[in-house]
């Protein structure tokens, strides 16, 4: 975990920056633009920072941003051709810690909606319609950053420590492979899912949780995960969209706050590389008992059951998606002599065999 003194300084800096942004952003605007709030996201917002390295997102929510989109685009083209975000870094050489900040703009169309409750279905229906017509699926996820933060922020401290462990493993893989990998956020959500389905308690065996996440990574071609905290299948239009999303090729990990965003991304080669590393790590001592036997992983399915699609009045045939049986509890460790992970179709045919059994 980061140094407590550094965390305190970062928190004070964030408060000062947020106050400045609220008071000064769009102060000379003449089209009604106004900053309604600044939300802290990223690892700093969810309290899952790593020691020595962390990231923070400051999302500036602006009312009536729609009328400012053209000007904003011109501003981005002229000042920052590669990004609309303002980036800066706070560091402490004596503590060897740093935080990288991204400042983003977002439309505050969730204004007045309780972040602990569910947004109205009309919000998601409008989002789906806009993303479909513009071909911008997931491009408006910043507008849901407060919901995304709250989804993780209030989790048990030990789960946050497991998330930190998985993020540390991800960074080690990234430094070793030096190739594009799946988004780190996908691994964070995968960790939350593993804990929800396999444990759900505040105190648990960290090695079990870590092993479960590694095993899920090796099953990336089967991943189909979503949550119904903020949206579900009750509305016809949203249900049709969810069925469309969840019948796409795996891996699919839907953003819990934005149904148009597949957090797993579209990088099967990156998932394959990460899966190969996960197989190797399954034989490491950190996921074994003191007697060198394998720690039992939680019994977690890589797929969440999908309810059958209803036959609405305006359709002739309903698409039936067979549900997958839920699983819970622990299972006994199985002796698996080897696991073969074939490279994705985009690469030349290749198979790697890595022993999972204990070495003699």
Residue by residue, DSSP assigns 38-76 as EEEEHHHHHT-PBTTBEEEEEEEEEETGGGGHHHHHHHH
Strands annotated E in the chain: 34-41, 54-63, 86-92, 97-107, 224-225, 252-253, 339-342, 351-354
pLDDT at residue 342 in the model: 62
CB 262 within 8 A of CB 252: yes
pLDDT at residue 360 in the model: 33
pLDDT at residue 70 in the model: 44
Closest CA to 327 of 302, 299, 308, 304: 299
Kindly report, residue by residue over 311-338, the tens digit of the pLDDT. 554 443 333 333 333 344 444 333 333 3
Residue by residue, DSSP assigns 209-220 as HHHHHHHHHHTG
The Cα 160–Cα 45 span in angstroms is: 12
The Cα 140–Cα 336 span in angstroms is: 43
pLDDT at residue 18 in the model: 82
Question: Average pLDDT of each block of 10 consecutive residues along the chain (360 residues)?
Answer: 73 83 69 76 80 76 58 45 64 73 80 68 90 84 89 94 96 95 96 97 96 98 97 94 95 96 94 97 92 93 91 40 38 40 53 34
Angle, CA of 148, 151 and 157, to the nearest 5°: 130
* CA diameter of the chain: 74
Q: Which domains does the chain have, with CATH numbers?
A: 1-108 (3.30.460.10), 155-360 (1.10.1410.20)
Q: For residue 141, give the DSSP letter.
A: G
339 token code pair: 């696991």
């Amino acid at each position: 975990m980061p140094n407590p003194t550094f965390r305190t300084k970062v928190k004070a800096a964030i408060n000062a920056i947020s106050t400045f942004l609220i008071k000064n952003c769009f102060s000379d605007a003449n089209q009604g633009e106004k900053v309604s709030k600044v939300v802290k996201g990223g690892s700093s917002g969810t309290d899952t920072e790593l020691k020595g390295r962390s990231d923070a997102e400051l999302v500036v929510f602006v009312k009536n941003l729609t009328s400012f989109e053209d000007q904003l685009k011109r501003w981005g083209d002229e000042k920052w051709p590669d990004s609309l975000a303002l980036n800066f870094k706070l560091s402490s050489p004596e503590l060897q810690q740093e935080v990288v900040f991204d400042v983003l703009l977002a439309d505050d169309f969730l204004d007045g909606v309780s972040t602990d409750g569910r947004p109205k279905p009309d919000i998601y229906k409008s989002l789906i319609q806009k993303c479909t017509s513009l071909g911008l699926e997931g491009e408006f996820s910043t507008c849901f950053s407060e919901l995304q933060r709250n989804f993780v922020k209030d989790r048990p401290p030990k789960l946050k420590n497991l998330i930190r462990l998985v993020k540390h493993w991800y960074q080690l893989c990234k430094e070793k492979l030096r190739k594009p990998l799946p988004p780190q956020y996908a691994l964070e959500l995968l960790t939350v899912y593993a804990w929800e389905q396999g444990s759900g308690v505040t105190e648990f065996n960290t090695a079990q949780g870590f092993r479960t996440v590694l095993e899920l990574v090796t099953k990336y071609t089967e991943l189909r995960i979503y949550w119904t905290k903020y949206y579900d299948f009750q509305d016809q239009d949203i249900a049709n969209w969810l069925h469309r999303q969840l019948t796409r090729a795996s891996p699919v990990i839907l953003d819990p706050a934005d149904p148009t965003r597949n957090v797993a991304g579209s990088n099967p080669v990156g998932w394959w590389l990460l899966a190969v590393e996960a197989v190797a790590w399954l034989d490491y001592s950190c996921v074994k008992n003191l007697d060198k036997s394998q720690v039992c992983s939680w019994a977690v399915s890589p797929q969440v059951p999908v309810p059958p699609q209803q036959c609405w009045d305006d359709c002739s045939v309903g698409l039936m998606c067979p549900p997958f049986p839920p699983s819970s509890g622990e299972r006994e460790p199985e002796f698996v002599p080897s696991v073969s992970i074939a490279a994705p179709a985009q690469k030349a045919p290749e198979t790697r065999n890595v022993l999972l059994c204990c070495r003699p």
